Amino acid sequence: MDVLIDTKKTLDQNASAYFESAKKARSKAAKAKEALEKTRKELEHVQKNKGRHLDEIAAIKKVKKRKWYEKFRWFFTSDNRLVIGGRDATTNEIMIKKHTDPGDLVFHTDMAGSPFFVLKTDNMPVTENILEEIADATCSFSKAFQLGLKTQSVFYVLPEQVTKEAKAGEYLTKGAFMIKGKTQYTKNKINVAIGLTEEKELMCGPIEAIRVHCKEVLIIEQGPDKPSDAAKKIRKKIPADLDDIIRALPTGTMKVLAS
């Protein structure tokens, strides 16, 4: 190894300078080793937690048996009554024809192409707050969310007022129905949250309802993120299958906020 000697310094001064330089180098090496070890432990922690999170998702998928209402949009109101909503023309048709009972309430908007929502009333009185929860869901899962609107004209009727009998000369496509008689309009707004219930069911609906039934709650608002990107952010907090999260979200771009 070549050693550079400063001819202006004595032999002792040169030796002292090399000693100090070596000491600094050892100190830097020790700090670098310490930093490397710290980084290694942090990465192990992240990988361990990531694995645990993925294990939770896998366990949920393995154990969970889908319930009949999960083919639709769905949530339970804050007073624990089931609400189902159409995902498309086919589920609109099935829901209205096969899953409405006397005493239920059917919600819809004045906007074409919007889903129907059905409150299973259990023949119990319905408060104004519950009507607003369902109206909010009907608005939030309509085209209003995608178009950036904050509210929509939402009404509700009884199941017997919803019919496939078109006016003379008219034809009703799949998922479309005629409304007969008086309609009741109720105030509403874009109002969506997502969470995981104690039964490990992914529930998406009005914030008030989700807070009652879910421990970890994330709020969904209109924003810049595609559903797939929003779903990835949600999965960091809620252990659920990515496709299931996307399927539960409203149509359109959005942002995810802590509750």
pLDDT in tens, 194-207: 999 999 999 999 99
The whole-model pTM stands at: 0.75
User: Residue 182 is which amino acid?
Assistant: K
- Is the pLDDT at 1 greater than 80? The verdict is no
What is the pLDDT averaged over residues 50-69?
A: 65
Half-sphere exposure at residue 146, Cβ-oriented, CA atoms within 13 angstroms: 11
pLDDT in tens, 68-90: 999 999 999 999 999 999 999 99
pLDDT at res. 242: 97
Residue 78 CA: distances (Å) to CA of 75, 118, 169, 180, 239:
9, 15, 43, 30, 23
- Diameter over CA atoms, the chain: 113
Average pLDDT of the chain, as a whole number: 87
Spatial contact of 29 and 22, defined as CB atoms under 8 Å apart: no
Spatial contact of 253 and 232, defined as CB atoms under 8 Å apart: no
pLDDT in tens, 105-125: 999 999 987 899 999 999 999
DSSP output for 53-119: HHHHHHHHHHH----GGGGSEEEE-TTS-EEEE-SSHHHHHHHHHHS--TT-EEEEESSTTPPPEEE
The answer to which of 102-106, 163-167, 231-235 has the lowest mean pLDDT is 163-167
pLDDT at res. 178: 85
Q: Which DSSP state fits 137?
A: H
Residue 108's nearest CA partner among 86, 81, 93, 91 is 86
pLDDT at res. 250: 97
pLDDT band at residue 171 using 50, 70 and 90 as cut-offs: confident
pLDDT at res. 255: 98
For the chain, first and last CA: distance in Å? 64
